[in-house]
């Protein structure tokens, strides 16, 4: 990777990944691609090049790729699961028509492409626990339908045209930097904000609902390590299960209570979020990622909780 374009660079993952990539590959080598309704600000804007790059506009993508001699595209434009369910056609347009645009540009200009998949790519018929790498994927959400299609289309472009496509199935991502917005797993991030603000947290996901989660530093490292992985070791490509921790609302609540004993939580279950969560697995097996590119998460629930509470205290209270 010499010159990188991040599409969706101002979003939940992009806002942090772009800065991490600039740290590794040099500021001038990483282009922040954004849409006008989500402009880059602060460090993201000041530390390197930025270009309007709408994933639904193939000419725009090609222009930026040519101008910056891009050889790797991180295609992060997407709607999260709850928002997508409200706007299924838009979710498809961004997720799949957008991916098609990216893959075509990548084919023509010989770029590698990373497009995230998700735990949402699984459905009710998938085994619930320790989900194997290769298994049934019959999702019931439009988010999941678009993620499975992403995986298939990316593999297709690799097989048919040799485009170097790679991907991971992200768990719910937790970060103190950019809030997710519109996902089913957002509660696992929001709960920390409430705890640090000294507020009671009302949980939209029911007790006993387990989902895989991951702290953002691990997620960012996964993106980079997979794209740097030796291609001859990769048996799979789109997309690898990766895992770090699996918990239900009580699990994360108790982890926070250990450090904030006064913290309180009650429940007001959101039926759409709950239906999404119920259709997703409890936990994934990431053995293939371990074997093929030495993946290993660094943060478990306790280590993440200590860091989240400290970083949010700095962000919200100082
Ligand atoms: N975090 C996503 C969501 O909740 C799932 O990958 O929509």
* Burial classification of residue 87, based on how many CB atoms lie within 10 Å of its CB (0-12 exposed, 13-18 middle, 19 or more buried): middle
- Cα Rg, the chain, nearest whole Å: 19
Tokens for 26, please give them: 């040099």
**pLDDT average, residue stretch 98-116:** 98
Per domain, the residue ranges of the chain are 4-170+215-241, 172-213+244-316
Task: Give residue 181's pLDDT band: very low, low, confident or very high (50, 70, 90).
Answer: confident
Decide whether any atom of ligand 1 lies within 6 Å of the 48 Cβ: no
Report which ligand 1 atom has the smallest distance to the Cα of 185. 4
pLDDT at 1 over 80: no
Level-2 CATH architecture, domain 4-170+215-241: 3-Layer(aba) Sandwich (3.40)
**Beta-carbon contacts of residue 310 (< 8 Å; ≥ 6 apart):** none
pTM value is: 0.96
Write the residue with the smallest CA distance to atom 1 of ligand 1. 172
Testing ligand 1's pocket by substitution, the residue of 141, 183, 214, 281 carrying the most ligand atoms inside 8 A of its CB is 183
Average pLDDT, the chain: 97
Do domains 4-170+215-241 and 172-213+244-316 share one topology? The answer is: yes
CA distances from 53 to 14, 22, 36, 222 (A): 13, 18, 9, 24
pLDDT in tens, 229-276: 999 999 999 999 999 999 999 999 999 999 999 999 999 999 999 999
Q: Ligand 1 centre and the CA of 58: distance in Å?
A: 26
Write the residue with the smallest CA distance to atom 3 of ligand 1. 183
CA distances from 140 to 114, 125, 204, 243, 276 (A): 24, 10, 20, 22, 8
Q: Ligand 1 centre and the CA of 301: distance in Å?
A: 18
Domain 172-213+244-316 has CATH 3.40.1550.20: no
Q: Report pLDDT for 317.
A: 83
Q: Report pLDDT for 179.
A: 83
Decide whether any atom of ligand 1 lies within 6 Å of the 222 Cβ: no
pLDDT in tens, 155-175: 999 999 999 999 999 999 999
């Amino acid at each position: 990777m010499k010159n990188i374009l991040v599409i969706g660079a101002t979003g939940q993952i992009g806002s942090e990944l772009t800065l991490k990539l600039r740290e590794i590959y040099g500021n001038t080598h990483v282009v922040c691609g954004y849409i006008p309704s989500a402009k880059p600000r602060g460090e993201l804007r000041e530390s390197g090049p930025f270009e309007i790059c709408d994933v639904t506009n193939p000419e725009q993508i090609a222009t930026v790729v040519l101008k910056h001699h891009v050889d790797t595209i991180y295609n992060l434009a997407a709607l999260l699961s709850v928002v997508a369910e409200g706007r299924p056609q838009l979710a498809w347009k961004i997720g799949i028509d957008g991916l098609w645009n990216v893959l075509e540009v990548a084919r023509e200009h010989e770029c590698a492409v990373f497009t995230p998949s998700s735990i949402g790519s699984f459905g009710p018929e998938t085994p619930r626990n320790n989900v194997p790498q290769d298994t049934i994927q019959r999702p019931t959400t439009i988010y999941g339908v678009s993620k499975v299609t992403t995986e298939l289309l990316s593999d297709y472009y690799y097989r048919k045209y040799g485009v170097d496509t790679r991907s991971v199935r992200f768990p719910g991502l937790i970060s103190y930097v950019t809030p997710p917005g519109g996902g089913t797993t957002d509660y696992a991030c929001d709960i920390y904000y409430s705890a640090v603000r000294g507020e009671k947290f009302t949980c939209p996901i029911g007790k006993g609902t387990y989902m895989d989660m991951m702290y953002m530093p691990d997620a960012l490292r996964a993106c980079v390590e997979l794209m740097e992985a030796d291609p001859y070791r990769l048996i799979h490509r789109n997309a690898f299960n990766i895992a770090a921790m699996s918990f239900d609302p009580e699990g994360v609540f108790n982890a926070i209570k250990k450090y904030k004993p006064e913290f309180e939580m009650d429940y007001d279950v959101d039926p759409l979020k709950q239906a999404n969560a119920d259709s997703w697995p409890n936990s994934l097996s990431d053995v293939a990622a371990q074997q093929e590119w030495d993946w290993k998460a660094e943060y478990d629930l306790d280590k993440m909780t200590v860091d989240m509470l400290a970083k949010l205290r700095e962000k919200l209270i100082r």
